[in-house]
Amino acid sequence: MTLRIAIIGAGLGGIAAAVKLTTSTRAGITIFEQSAGVGGTWYDNRYPGCEVDVHSHAYSFSFLGYDWSRTHATQAELLAYANHVVDRFGLREHLRLSTRVTGLVWEEASSTYTLSTEHGDSHEFDVVVSALGLLSVPRYPGWPGLDTFAGPVFHTSRWEQHDLTGKSVAVVGTGSTAVQIVPAIAPTAAQVYVYQREPGWIEPKYERDFSPRERWIYRHVPLAQRLNRARIFHKGNRRFKGYDVGSRRQRRMREACERFINGTITDPAVRKAVTPGYPWGCKRPILSSTFYESLNRDNVSLVPQAVTRVFPGAVEDATGSVRDIDVLILSTGFQPTRFLAGLDVKGRDGRGLHDVWRERATAFMGITVPGFPNFFILYGPNTNGGVSVIAQLERQAEVVVAAVRRLARTRRRTIDTSPAAARRFTAWVDKRLASNASAMNAGCHNYYHDGSGHNVTQWPGGHLAYALATRLVARFGLRSPS
């Protein structure tokens, strides 16, 4: 029997699933993507200075080397890489671009899902893989007067091209996106106000172009790229010891960040304002070699306050100070705890996935949910982290492949998840994260926690632990009902 498989999303997660399925099974796949091209977040985010925080050799698939030009690839190169993989493995014929999936309904009688799209059509599939990503739903602030601003105002993931020459620009936020944008626009804009609600720990990124000799070696000696990849993962796994708030590495990470602040920023008041009072790792650690230097510029001003109100040509901060601006850039993040937002999934007995997740989003190994047979999630609850999300996505795709193979070689038509296994997994995650720097009692605000205080995004360890767990544990949690 040739299984029909739908993959929702053509970002790097959807591409990983498609490659693994087409090279390891005989299943027929269809990839639905709401955007006009592949690449996911690297298709949507096109702001100045946009590049990945993970080393290129780690932020790429293990099954296909690439001639990277930099230690940390830019958005344009990552988008080119996504298209390269699609073409290398012949996936373009399976794509349905500009097609947003709106709903899935499990049909018990046929053991299939009815998939509906925004265009009003429906299709039947034996297996569905959701690869919608984690950072895909922008968070827009609810400031009074935001809709009255007279100039350009936009979220960083919906970047608009405007000539900033001679303009006064407000960038709201100092997270991983803002620290790339500010150094990129500062040389052009007349004035840049950087609004910081809460500082984050920032480490130097050490990004650079590869030399011609390095590129030649990595291009012609495949083992060299694999060895460098292994080195990166080894160093990254060691970093995870720093998330223990009482560890020696936690202290070392904070000291290194403080040295970076003191050695880069010239103004003592700014140095104090950007130094967090909470443990390293409480918020997502930020990598940037140029942000602190940009704060030394005469035309860049750090405002260590939250924005509270917007006027037609100005913004007001929490102290009541009002500054005139021409352009308002919202680097206000995403809504990562809203997993599968916009997708209505109904499983056995007509239960809705979002109803099941009303109190908390959980999934076994972050991949499957009891009562939703033959349905798999990539980048689901508690899978963020592990050095490189690309490696995490590959391991999740391999779980899907193993399940599809089991369905293909047996007469049973469904694979579901043991509720007991799912509960044990969630309890284990909570226990591991209790002493993590990201815990709510650590004194910072992060995007990891839902409204009830549950950490629903983070994986509590390195990639090796996740690789072993998906290989050895996932098979015991998935079952084929008789």
Task: For residue range 263-315, list pLDDT tens digits in order.
Answer: 999 999 999 999 999 999 899 889 999 999 999 999 999 999 999 999 999 99
Query: What is the structure's pLDDT at 480?
Result: 65
For the stretch 343-381, pLDDT in tens is 999 999 999 999 999 999 999 999 999 999 999 999 999
Torsion-angle region of residue 90: left (phi > 0), alpha (psi -120 to 50) or beta? left
How would you class 1 by CB atoms within 10 Å of its CB: exposed for 0-12, middle for 13-18, buried for 19 or more?
exposed
**Total Cβ atoms within 10 A of residue 453:** 11
Query: What is the structure's pLDDT at 385?
Result: 85
**C-alpha span between 29 and 81 (Å, rounded):** 21
The average pLDDT across 49-62 equals 96
Q: Is the pLDDT of residue 434 over 90?
A: no
Query: What is the structure's pLDDT at 187?
Result: 98
Query: What is the structure's pLDDT at 191?
Result: 98
Q: Enter the tokens of residue 270.
A: 């700014």
Answer yes or no: are the C-beta atoms of 467 and 397 closer than 8 Å: no
Alpha carbon separation from 200 to 209, 243, 290 (Å, rounded): 26, 15, 15
Alpha carbon separation from 439 to 59, 198, 243 (Å, rounded): 27, 17, 10
Q: Enter the tokens of residue 354.
A: 């979002």
Query: What is the structure's pLDDT at 390?
Result: 96
DSSP 3-state assignment of 172? strand
Which pLDDT band holds residue 475 (cuts at 50, 70, 90)? low
Query: What is the structure's pLDDT at 482?
Result: 45
Query: What is the structure's pLDDT at 5?
Result: 98
What is the rounded average pLDDT for all residues in the chain? Answer: 94
